[in-house]
Chain A
């Protein structure tokens, strides 16, 4: 069995967010980058499947050379080899097209990725790749088990869960608790630099979306505390000052 895990290279969740170039570019100065946390779950499940079924795991990232440490971390966690599509991941459609192009060349049984990346959070790459490859795409998947050629999954839905099944090949957008994040061990870290990391050029894709600019949420204003016995005053202020009533 062949598993492809698509990982994003995203700022650590505690990073301070700032923009440059007229608010059109994320300021990466001093920012620590990590494997997208949801992708990390997908990778962890893939490694478990590798351990239980002997599957091979390939990781794929669409990004420029600076993402290689992140890719090598995935190799340290246990992936067998890696592909880096040498291009800036401009938008979801572009990324999905790159993944689809790579996946077409190698027929993977399972394509796992996070349900969304935590930088731009569009959450549609799995669906787009599914459409491009004409195979099922399921997300967000909290549990994923194999039964022969069938994949049994549990999806999170509003107020509950849903159990679905599909035959491979298949794409899943993953989230916790599908597996526990894996910490790379010493052996993995030491073997990461000798595992194959193939750099391929991107396929040409016409992107329909153009980024205009980013805007940070307005800074939080001062807070007025109204004692609980002064409900009237609260209503008054909401009407006259906050003008929300």
Chain B
């Protein structure tokens, strides 16, 4: 097995550099301990959660969810991200993503758990001072205390910095008095600790506070009645002269929005991981049904139309998984590099996540949309039984939907990816200019086919390199045209985001397959090349469509024609029999009777 060849990689850099298969982490690289942790999470779900999904969703017993969290806490599963000195297990980031993935199959419990361990605990862990960390983290890591995160308000959702909640210093200077209304607060019904965002006096920016329920001045509405994740507690919370000791201001005054944004980076990529878990579970359930259900004298799994669905479901999850842990490892590597340079752990965590904020947003969007695709096709495979409220797909379908909404809607995240990319280019952090200019030159020149490289997937890598050129060509022209006003061209930003996302995922998928084939050779199991080809073809089609749409939206005359020609050239891909490839992938998954990787 060849060692990972590592070098400090920058966030977003994938667009302008060719990554080697040996550089990326792939799920096949999980070690025994990581696999054991994942297995523990699986056994926990099987024992404590799957047998009582209806009971959990009925919300009849408000003590049930906290009791389930307590059991997870007793197994140490709430403290995987928490360093040992604060009562946790100090796992690296990718391992904590693996935990999120497996729990992601846990429906409402997945949401409760991730809100507690993620947005509930991490603000204190990353931004708290020593005293705050000592007071809260050990209790949160064991689950003795449960946490919630209060950012959203009735009039402040996507525009998170616009909240009206206020904090004012008491006359004696010992307390902040918080007043305001928060909405959609996960775990609100049973949380002991709330991370509350509010503006101090007439500040422009939010500040963040650690608020204990026992401080008083906290009331809440009944549980929200929701489309899905019905067993997860979601409340409106009112703060009426809630007295918070000044020591409980988190970080500095006015730093709240930054905290909110940075914590969401973690939340986003972990949501991407959790979506994998939900997707895999639904795929396995759908395959199981397709193998049993007979129509026209045969199992429906034997029909090409059903195989097509199964192959697409499996392929997209495989690709998303490749990208998710590739990014996770980049974050871990960046963290290690910062630590080696003497940066404190909390700050190193934040910086490493911030560096890969683009990838975090990409994984949130892709993971949640793959999940929605999977549950939708899952319902379809089940036919009428898919629509039955008593079948397993009903819950999967409803529960999946929230993922495109929270942790920043997918629209907001799409815009963020491009916004961050352009900001980095402007700051000189990422050199997009040089490659974009080169693409311009190449557009005018006669196409050259370059030297023949050697190795696996040479042609496919050229396709990807060209896809990147297409992205740079369009983004470059759009920026020149609109300059700072590009933010108003949301449709264009959406197109560019989709191009960026597809490039990242298709590349990750191809590199994962290449790495497995390189490591295992003949012993590699499954139709891997087919998976890489299916994903790549789909991605190129999407890139071509989005590119065309984007170009037509702003270019005219000769420029329009030239760019459309360029796009055609940069999105060209040799024919491949995708039908046969999908059949192979589906047959493999059907024989395994589950998501097969």
Contacts and interface: CB of A to CB of B under 8 A. Distances in A.
A187 B90 CA distance: 11
Contact of A14 (B39, B40, B593): B593
Nearest to A68: B32
B33 A189 contact: yes
B75 interface: yes
Given A30-B525, A30-B592, A183 B40 contact: yes
B525 A73 contact: no
Chain B facing A: main interface SS: helix
Contacts of A187: 76, 89
B32 A183 contact: no
29 contacts: A29-B525, A30-B525, A30-B592, A69-B32, A69-B36, A72-B32, A72-B36, A73-B36, A73-B39, A181-B43, A183-B44, A183-B47, A183-B75, A184-B39, A184-B40, A185-B40, A185-B75, A185-B76, A186-B75, A186-B76, A186-B80, A187-B76, A187-B89, A189-B33, A189-B36, A189-B37, A189-B40, A190-B89, A192-B33
B563 interface: no
Contacts of A183: 40, 43-44, 47, 75
Contacts of A69: 32, 35-36
B439 interface: no
A196 B38 CA distance: 23
Contacts of A236: none
B453 interface: no
Given A181-B43, A183-B44, 5 more contacts: A183-B75, A187-B76, A187-B89, A189-B36, A190-B33
Contact of B593 (A16, A76, A186): A16
Given A16-B593, A30-B525, A69-B32, A186 B37 contact: yes
Contacts of A181: 43, 47
A69 B38 CA distance: 14
Interface in A183-214: 183-187, 189-190, 192-193
Interface residues of A, number: 18
B79 interface: yes
A135 B525 CA distance: 48
A186 B74 CA distance: 9
Given A30-B592, A186-B80, A192 B47 contact: no
Contacts of B39: 73, 184
Contacts of B79: 186
Interface string B12-51: 0000000000000000000011011101100110010000
B339 to A, nearest CB: 20
Interface of A: 14, 16, 29-30, 69, 72-73, 76, 181, 183-187, 189-190, 192-193
B389 interface: no
Contacts of A16: 591-593
Nearest to B297: A222
Contacts of A189: 33, 36-37, 40
A192 B593 contact: no
B551 interface: no
Contacts of A73: 36, 39
Contacts of A186: 37, 40, 75-77, 79-80, 89
Contacts of B32: 69, 72
Contacts of B89: 186-187, 190
A76 B39 CA distance: 12
A76 B35 CA distance: 12
A183 B71 CA distance: 11
B406 to A, nearest CB: 27
Contacts of B35: 69
Most chain B beta carbons < 10 A, residue from A72, A184, A192: A184
A187 to B, nearest CB: 6
Nearest to A183: B43
Contacts of B75: 183, 185-186
Contacts of B592: 16, 30
A184 to B, nearest CB: 5
Contacts of B44: 183
Contacts of B76: 185-187
Interface string B79-122: 11000000001000000000000000000000000000000000
Interface in B571-593: 591-593
